[in-house]
């Protein structure tokens, strides 16, 4: 190449790169990703099955994974849907109509209709001059009802959507989470679009009969040249119905749907083409994906074809330069949760990922090429906030617990003022003590200083509040913090960055205020899980092996993450990142034993032992007693042993074999009966039947304040109003439940007092039996005249005892 041409090319590249937009790449974790990913996976499975049947007939089947391990790094090939175009856009040249089902448009039905794209409306409308990531308010010439509110103006946003109350010009991920969390939104094609490069652009035409916004050959954003053009429109009508009409869509990813905003209600992810008869009172949307993406469910299933269900996390990199998502460097998806008190709720999707018992979360860490070889070097996409590879992995692992908790806002019951980006990270204006979860450490220079506040550190640790919410620290060890108030809502979604100064008011926050909103963290730090296992996986092209340099790169991340996690959590929690066979304690992650009592536990493996397998058991102190070792017989997968509660306290129990098996951990709580609680499972307020018997037994459960159950506890029952109870003393079973058969007798109402052995009856629970159902003499009367008897075609009132079976009923 001639020198003069090379110089010109260099200058051209410098000039064009100077014009390139700085795209904000974020963590893609949000509360809605769970539904989004499951929908995309299921759509991809349906498409793949249809293709297999067409290609191979009814016998066509999936390819067996050729996964293998290289040291402590697992390799999964991209075959059979691990990488796929999961849900290509299928609404082009169609019109989607949302019709209100109530007068105030509080709910909608959707269907495909025959009203095509209106090119004339697009051509006669006035041009809305929008740049990239821009917004412009437009009046609506009639009152428009949307999810129960009336609007007469709307913001037209560059990225293929309308919002009420405020515009949206953010450049972060166009995701279902952003759609649901923000202002009320109508999304004909929520995608990163750039109207500034369109020949026609965005137009608005309106009159008393309709309001029409058209995006005419608007390209997707691109740093260089012109990307794919999109043509579509949204039409609003006075009766509240909404139409999306498409006339040339060629997109790799988009969100389509409507949302009331501010996380109101429960969102639904649907297939608009497939249709549904349902009525939707909250977000209804579809996420389209026409680019190659990692199908995280299929990838995890493939991992489990060749590995034990022995990991709390499975973390995926890929060497195919497939991003974790549009505008996302990485994300976490929780798949199983049984904890409360930190802003999330219990659920279990693990079967969709191929896990029967252990898996809690998956991490999509995106392309390996986006990370530096040195795990402590800054990741260029997140360098402004201070993230290196280890911090980003800690960030994503932390999403199993964080950041979803917040105090309330007395002026807005829907607001979560401590939360910022995607409503899954700490707000910029919250002093999060430099938490990994997009957290700042904010210096308050005092009310007379100007500016008052300055960010001094970012993303350095799991903060004390983080550790409380993760179950690693008691609430009493969380110092107070504060929230800076008085800034616009968008300020909370600013990326953390050292040196930023700002002003505002101050709202002090105590951990007890958070507990008042979210409830206590259960299980708390006394018995919460402290040992986790993470499997690291590289997804590669079918038939290929990753270069040794890639294996070494991931091995460096893996090996350094173990001490990094321990340090970040203040040595309160630990991770094991090795690939080893499963060894499981039945009492994991925690169990309860009554002081002086005993329970039976098991230790198990997932494949039959080829020879007798000795398992060593170690208790960390003297609260419990266990045998020093047990043996799993040849051909078996488990053996049992006894745990004896010696004295009140919390004990760490571990089980080991050798380096081919993981070390299994559990925490065992030993309590005196006075610290336990009885609760009724079933059988209370039954109606006494013939002969004075009850139809069902009385079942109770023994638990502690962490909801741990206590097998082997003695429970006494005393019939205080006559009758008989069998047995008089019952011992709780493996699930902590005790059962009694109570015969109150044929008399009126009766009570059974049930309490733990070693406590007083007043510390127990009272069970009530209701008198038999009887109709009073002359108790059937005309409902209007109250004359005795029943008349043909008339309404009657019946008077008697226990007519509602013990339930309280009230006529309206």
How does pLDDT run across 354-373, given as a tens digit for each residue? 999 999 999 999 999 999 99
Phi and psi (nearest 5°) for 744? -65, -25
Q: Which residue has the higher pLDDT, 229 or 182?
A: 229
Which pair of structure tokens corresponds to residue 284? 């209804």
The count of structural domains within the chain is 5
The chain-wide mean pLDDT, for the chain, equals 90
Provide the pLDDT for residue 181.
82
Residues 441 and 342 occupy one common structural domain:
yes
- Best-predicted range by mean pLDDT (124-138, 453-467, 713-727, 747-761): 453-467
User: Residue 63: pLDDT band by 50, 70, 90 thresholds?
Assistant: low
Residues 590 and 724 occupy one common structural domain:
no
Residues 231 and 323 occupy one common structural domain:
no
Name the domain boundary from 265, 282, 299: 282
Q: What is the mean pLDDT of residues 85-94?
A: 92
Q: What stretches of 55-206 adopt beta strand conformation (E)?
A: 68-70, 73-77, 83-84, 95-100, 108-113, 126-128, 135-146, 149-157, 161-163, 185-190, 201-206
Task: Round to the nearest angstrom and report the end-to-end CA distance of the chain.
Answer: 89
Provide the pLDDT for residue 6.
31
Tens digits of residue pLDDT in 478-533: 999 999 999 988 899 999 999 999 999 999 999 999 999 999 999 999 999 999 99
Residues 227 and 109 occupy one common structural domain:
yes
- Cα–Cα distances (Å) from 341 to 404, 471, 812, in that order, read 10, 10, 38
| Residue at 16 is within a domain | no
- Which run of H or of E encompasses 40? helix 33-56
Say if residue 227's pLDDT is above 50: yes
Residues 499 and 601 occupy one common structural domain:
no
Which pair of structure tokens corresponds to residue 389? 């590879």
| Residue at 3 is within a domain | no
Residues 232 and 319 occupy one common structural domain:
no
Q: Please, where are the H alpha helices in 119-229?
A: 119-124, 176-181
Tens digits of residue pLDDT in 395-447: 999 999 999 999 999 988 889 999 999 899 999 999 999 999 999 999 999 99
Name the domain boundary from 577, 611, 642: 577
Say if residue 810's pLDDT is above 70: no
Say if residue 811's pLDDT is above 50: no
User: Residue 7: pLDDT band by 50, 70, 90 thresholds?
Assistant: very low
What is the C-alpha to C-alpha distance for residues 559 and 565, in angstroms, rounded to an integer?
Answer: 11
Write the CB contacts of 282 (distance below 8 Å, at least 6 apart in sequence): 147, 259, 260, 264, 265, 266, 267, 268
Residues 509 and 408 occupy one common structural domain:
yes
Say if residue 275's pLDDT is above 50: yes
Say if residue 19's pLDDT is above 80: no
Instruction: Note the pTM of the prediction, 2 decimals.
Output: 0.85
Residues 683 and 700 occupy one common structural domain:
yes
What is the C-alpha to C-alpha distance for residues 33 and 646, in angstroms, rounded to an integer?
Answer: 46
Give me the domain span that covers residue 801.
Answer: 774-812
The tally of CA atoms less than 13 A away on the side-chain side of residue 520 is 13
* Sheet-wide strand order for 638-645: 584-585, 598-604, 638-645, 624-625
* CATH number, domain containing residue 711: 2.60.40.10
What is the C-alpha to C-alpha distance for residues 80 and 583, in angstroms, rounded to an integer?
Answer: 30
Q: What is the mean pLDDT of residues 236-261?
A: 95
Say if residue 13's pLDDT is above 50: no
User: Residue 713: pLDDT band by 50, 70, 90 thresholds?
Assistant: very high
| Residue at 90 is within a domain | no
- Cα–Cα distances (Å) from 632 to 550, 584, 591, 607, in that order, read 39, 12, 22, 11
- Which run of H or of E encompasses 297? helix 296-305
| Residue at 552 is within a domain | yes
Is residue 484 within 8 A of residue 442, CB to CB? The reply is yes
| Residue at 70 is within a domain | yes
What is the C-alpha to C-alpha distance for residues 50 and 35, in angstroms, rounded to an integer?
Answer: 23
Of 47-51, 227-231, 597-601, minimum mean pLDDT range: 47-51
Q: Which residue has the higher pLDDT, 416 or 170?
A: 416
Residues 444 and 529 occupy one common structural domain:
yes
Say if residue 23's pLDDT is above 70: no
Say if residue 257's pLDDT is above 60: yes
Say if residue 798's pLDDT is above 90: no
User: Residue 804: pLDDT band by 50, 70, 90 thresholds?
Assistant: low
| Residue at 18 is within a domain | no
Q: What is the mean pLDDT of residues 300-307?
A: 95
Is residue 310 within 8 A of residue 358, CB to CB? The reply is yes
Q: Percent of the chain scored above 70 by pLDDT?
A: 91
| Residue at 12 is within a domain | no
Residues 387 and 274 occupy one common structural domain:
no
- Which run of H or of E encompasses 11? helix 3-19
Closest to 302 in 3D by CA, of 348, 353, 368: 353
| Residue at 269 is within a domain | yes
Phi and psi (nearest 5°) for 104? -100, 10
Alpha-carbon torsion (254, 259, 264, 270), positive or negative: negative
Q: What is the mean pLDDT of residues 756-777?
A: 83
Provide the pLDDT for residue 53.
73
User: What is the longest distance spanned by two Cα atoms in the chain?
Assistant: 113
Residues 751 and 787 occupy one common structural domain:
no
Name the domain boundary from 624, 656, 671: 671
Provide the pLDDT for residue 12.
26
Where do we find the tokens 């010439």?
A: 141
714 forms bridges with which residues in the sheet? Answer: 731
Say if residue 16's pLDDT is above 60: no
Residues 273 and 159 occupy one common structural domain:
yes
């Amino acid at each position: 190449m001639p020198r003069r041409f090379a110089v010109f090319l260099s200058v051209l590249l410098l000039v064009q790169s100077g014009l390139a937009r700085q795209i904000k790449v974020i963590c893609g974790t949000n509360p809605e990703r769970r539904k989004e990913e499951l929908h995309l996976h299921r759509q991809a499975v349906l498409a793949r099955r249809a293709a297999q049947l067409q290609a191979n007939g009814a016998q066509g089947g999936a390819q067996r994974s050729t996964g293998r391990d290289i040291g402590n790094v697992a390799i999964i090939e991209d075959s059979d849907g691990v990488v796929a175009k999961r849900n290509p856009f299928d609404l082009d040249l169609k019109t989607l109509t949302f019709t209100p089902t109530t007068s105030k448009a509080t709910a909608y039905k959707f269907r495909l209709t025959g009203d095509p794209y209106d090119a004339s409306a697009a051509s006669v409308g006035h041009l809305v001059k929008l740049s990239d990531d821009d917004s412009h308010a437009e009046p609506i010439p009639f009152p428009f009802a949307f999810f129960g509110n009336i609007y007469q103006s709307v913001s037209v946003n560059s990225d293929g959507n309308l919002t009420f109350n405020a515009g949206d010009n953010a450049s972060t991920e166009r995701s279902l989470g952003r759609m649901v969390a923000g202002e009320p939104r109508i999304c004909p094609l929520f995608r990163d679009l750039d109207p500034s490069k369109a020949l026609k652009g965005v137009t608005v035409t309106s009159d008393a009969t309709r309001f029409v916004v058209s995006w005419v050959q608007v390209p997707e954003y691109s740093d260089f040249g012109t990307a794919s053009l999109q043509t579509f429109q949204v039409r609003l009508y006075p009766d509240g119905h909404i139409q999306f009409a498409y006339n040339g869509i060629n997109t790799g990813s988009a969100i389509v749907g409507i949302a009331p905003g501010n996380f109101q209600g429960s969102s639904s992810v649907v297939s608009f083409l497939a249709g549904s008869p349902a009525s939707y009172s909250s977000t209804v949307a579809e996420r389209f994906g026409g680019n190659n993406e990692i199908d995280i469910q299929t990838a995890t299933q493939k991992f489990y074809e060749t590995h034990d269900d022995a990991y709390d996390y499975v973390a995926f990199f890929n060497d195919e330069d497939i991003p974790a998502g549009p505008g996302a460097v990485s994300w976490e998806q929780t798949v199983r949760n049984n904890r409360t008190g930190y802003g999330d709720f219990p659920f279990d999707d693990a079967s969709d990922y191929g896990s029967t018992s252990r898996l809690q979360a998956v991490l999509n860490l995106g392309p390996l090429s986006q990370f530096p070889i040195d795990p402590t070097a800054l990741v260029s996409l997140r360098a402004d906030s201070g993230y290196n590879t280890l911090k980003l992995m800690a960030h994503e692992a932390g999403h199993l617990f964080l950041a979803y908790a917040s105090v309330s806002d007395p002026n807005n019951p829907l607001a979560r003022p401590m939360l910022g980006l995607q409503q899954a990270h700490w707000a910029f204006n919250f002093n999060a003590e430099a938490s990994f979860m997009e957290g700042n450490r904010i210096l308050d220079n005092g009310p007379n200083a100007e500016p008052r506040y300055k960010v001094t550190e970012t993303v350095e640790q799991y903060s004390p509040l983080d550790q409380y919410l993760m179950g690693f620290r008691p609430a009493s060890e969380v110092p107070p913090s504060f929230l800076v108030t008085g800034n616009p809502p968008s300020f909370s979604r600013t990326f953390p960055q050292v040196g930023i100064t700002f002003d505002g008011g101050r709202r002090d926050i105590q951990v007890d205020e958070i507990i008042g909103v979210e409830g206590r963290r259960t299980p708390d730090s006394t018995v919460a899980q402290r040992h986790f296992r993470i499997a690291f996986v590289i997804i590669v092209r079918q038939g290929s092996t990753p270069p040794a340099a890639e294996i070494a790169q991931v091995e460096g991340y893996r090996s350094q993450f173990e001490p990094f996690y321990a340090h970040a959590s203040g040595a309160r929690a630990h991770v094991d990142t090795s690939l080893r066979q499963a060894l499981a304690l039945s009492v994991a992650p925690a169990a309860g034993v009554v002081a002086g009592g005993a329970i039976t536990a098991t230790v198990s493996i997932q494949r039959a032992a080829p020879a007798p397998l000795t398992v060593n058991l170690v208790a960390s102190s003297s609260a419990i007693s266990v045998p020093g070792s047990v043996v799993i017989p040849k051909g078996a997968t488990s053996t049992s042993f006894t745990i004896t509660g010696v004295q009140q306290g919390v004990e760490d129990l571990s089980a080991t074999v050798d380096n081919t098996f993981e070390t299994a951990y559990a925490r065992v709580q030993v309590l005196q009966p006075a610290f336990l609680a009885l609760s009724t499972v079933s059988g209370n307020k039954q109606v006494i039947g013939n002969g004075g018997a009850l139809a069902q037994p009385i079942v109770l459960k023994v638990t502690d304040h962490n909801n741990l159950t206590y097998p082997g506890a003695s429970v006494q029952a005393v019939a205080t109003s006559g009758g008989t109870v069998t047995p008089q003393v019952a011992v709780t079973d493996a699930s902590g439940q005790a059962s009694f058969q109570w015969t109150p007798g044929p008399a009126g109402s009766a009570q059974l007092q049930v309490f733990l052995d070693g406590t007083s009856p007043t510390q127990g629970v009272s069970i009530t039996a209701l008198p038999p159902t009887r109709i009073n003499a002359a108790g059937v009367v005309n409902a209007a005249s109250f004359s005795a008897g029943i008349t043909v075609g008339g309404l009657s009132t019946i008077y008697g005892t226990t007519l509602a079976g013990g339930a309280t009923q009230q006529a309206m």
